[in-house]
Chains A and B, each alone.
Chain A
Amino acid sequence: MHIPDGILPVSAALSGYVAAGGVTWLSLNRIKKIFKNPREFIPRASLLTAAFFVASMIHIPVPPTSVHLILSGLMGVILGWFAFPAILVGLFLQAVMFQHGGLTTIGVNACLMGIPALLAGALFRSRRYFGADRKIINGLLAFLSSFLAIVTGAFTAALLLIYTIPAQLNVSAERAAIIILAGAHLPVALIEGVFTVMVVLFLLKVKPALLEGDRL
């Protein structure tokens, strides 16, 4: 899901910066409206961002290999509007520390992960209409939020790559490449969906305040 430098044309990279700038502006505006003193929530958002960063490095064994989780859906569920800035910061740190992702593509990558995360958060918060304390509702919405966040991000990334790579693929090759690229993320999306259900049900029992999203 992390598109590195040099793959996308400059128009796509710049559009990513513009789009990420717009969504960041929207997120910060919402944060300033929701919190009287947003500075008060910086340590909390930072610690949770760091916790997500570290948790995403846990390798989940899927014999004969292992996968690492993206956790964008869970970030949307827990961080609410802070999810987009948190993902932006996480991607910047990954670029600085591991050269994972890219500097010219940071806007595109932030949108690929951050917008589905915001939508996942909104989907999970709809639990108040179905019963916020019902285990089955929490579990179902947690799975859908996380699963859809990964699938949407992967599918959009695949489309972007196929339609912007330098040489033109033929139609059947295009279709096959999209299916392979997006399909490769399907097992991760399923595992991440189940993982998110487990974390959400754990938090529902131990610290339900963490599931309040925008109230953190």
Chain B
Amino acid sequence: MIAEVVVSKTAAESLFGRWETRLKVPALLLLVFSFAFIRDLRLLPLLVLVAALIYAFSGLPFKYLVYRVRLPGFFLLAMAIILPFWSGQTIIWQLGPLALRQEGSLGLLLVAVKFFAILTVVIALFGTTSLPQLTVALRTIGIPWLITDLLLFTYRYLYQLSSDLRRIHLAARLRGFKGKSISALKPLAFISGTMLVRSHEQSERVFQAMTLRGYGNSSLPLPLFRPLPADYMLLAGSVFISVLLIIFQLIM
């Protein structure tokens, strides 16, 4: 049900994989926000080029990108149905009551390119960074420990609870549960309730075990921050592109 996020060896050793996470996260965050800032259609080829270059430097295979884009792509599909036919006044093609409008079609083009460009950068970021590395970066940019601890522990138990759910589901199916009609709502609610009760009870044992190992006495020290010149160059490159995109948008 939940596939573990594994950063491949090639991706981890790529230019982006080796980039110090504490610089990579704010730099790429700034870049995706500058992508989101674009409203001028003439800047879209630049967005595509930057996103393609970043993905090429990430060392991730192309099929990984295609696989990852599938799920969020459904939302775009809904926009593709609404925007070109409902938005704007200039009709460019008509078939009976169905009218394709210029403003809506251009709006869809803007949304779609920004969507894929941002998604490509986000996939390159998360595909080359492990979750513990991301947590350290989040701590460095000022996210409170309560949130980062919650993030790490939730991630830790996600796989265990997912396999628990699979087991409960299998046991229910062996007892004749089909789950094909709305009447399955009650057993599924009880399965969810059972998971919540089990998690609550397990958390008491987990906290005791963690306390014995010293959790709560002091904050864990962050790994040493030792960026290389290449890390700063990548940061400078990202900031330069982001500022350039924003300036282009403002003057165009």
Contacts of B103 in A (CB 8 A): 167-168
Complex contact B216–A99 (CB within 8 A):
no
Complex contact B199–A48 (CB within 8 A):
yes
Determine how close the nearest CB of chain A comes to the CB of B116; give it in whole angstroms. 8
3 A-B pairs closest in CB distance: A46-B153, A6-B115, A198-B189
Contacts of B94 in A (CB 8 A): none
| Option from A45, A199, A206 in Cβ contact (under 8 Å) with B189 | A199
Task: State in angstroms the CA–CA spacing of A14 and B36 once bound together.
Answer: 10
B232 in contact (CB, < 8 A)? no
Interface 0/1 of A87-122, CB less than 8 Å to B? 011101101111111111000000000000000000
Contacts of A198 in B (CB 8 A): 185-186, 189-190, 193
Determine how close the nearest CB of chain A comes to the CB of B194; give it in whole angstroms. 8
Interface size on B, residues (CB 8 A): 89
Q: Chain B residue with minimal CB distance to A52?
A: B196
| Option from A31, A58, A203 in Cβ contact (under 8 Å) with B146 | A31
Complex contact A4–B115 (CB within 8 A):
yes
Complex contact B192–A93 (CB within 8 A):
no
Contact residues of B with A, CB < 8 Å?
Answer: 1-3, 5, 29, 32-33, 35-37, 39, 68-69, 71-72, 75-76, 79, 82-83, 86-89, 103-104, 106-107, 110-119, 122-123, 125-126, 131, 134, 144, 146-147, 149-158, 160-162, 164-165, 179-182, 184-186, 188-193, 195-200, 202-204, 206-207, 210, 215-216
Determine how close the nearest CB of chain A comes to the CB of B214; give it in whole angstroms. 12
Complex contact B71–A61 (CB within 8 A):
no
Contacts of B179 in A (CB 8 A): 61
Chain B residues touching A, majority SS = helix
Determine how close the nearest CB of chain B comes to the CB of A126; give it in whole angstroms. 22
| Contact of A173 with B199 at beta-carbon distance under 8 Å, contacts A43-B210, A58-B188, A103-B29 already known | no
Of residues 47 to 103 in A, which have CB atoms within 8 Å of B's CB atoms? 47-51, 53-55, 57-58, 60-63, 78, 85-86, 88-90, 92-93, 95-103
Contacts of B144 in A (CB 8 A): 24, 28
Known: A90-B154, A170-B89. 11 other contacts (CB 8 A): A6-B112, A7-B79, A8-B36, A38-B146, A48-B196, A57-B1, A86-B150, A95-B126, A102-B118, A103-B32, A191-B182
Task: State in angstroms the CA–CA spacing of A8 and B154 once bound together.
Answer: 29
Q: Which of A5, A53, A55, A78 has the most CB of B within 10 A?
A: A5
Chain A residues touching B, majority SS = helix
Q: List 11 A-B contacts (CB under 8 A).
A: A2-B75, A39-B149, A39-B216, A42-B149, A44-B200, A46-B150, A95-B122, A97-B3, A99-B126, A170-B89, A206-B197
Q: Chain B residue with minimal CB distance to A205?
A: B193
Complex contact A7–B192 (CB within 8 A):
no
Q: Which of A3, A46, A96 has the most CB of B within 10 A?
A: A46
Determine how close the nearest CB of chain A comes to the CB of B70; give it in whole angstroms. 9
Task: State in angstroms the CA–CA spacing of A28 and B142 once bound together.
Answer: 14
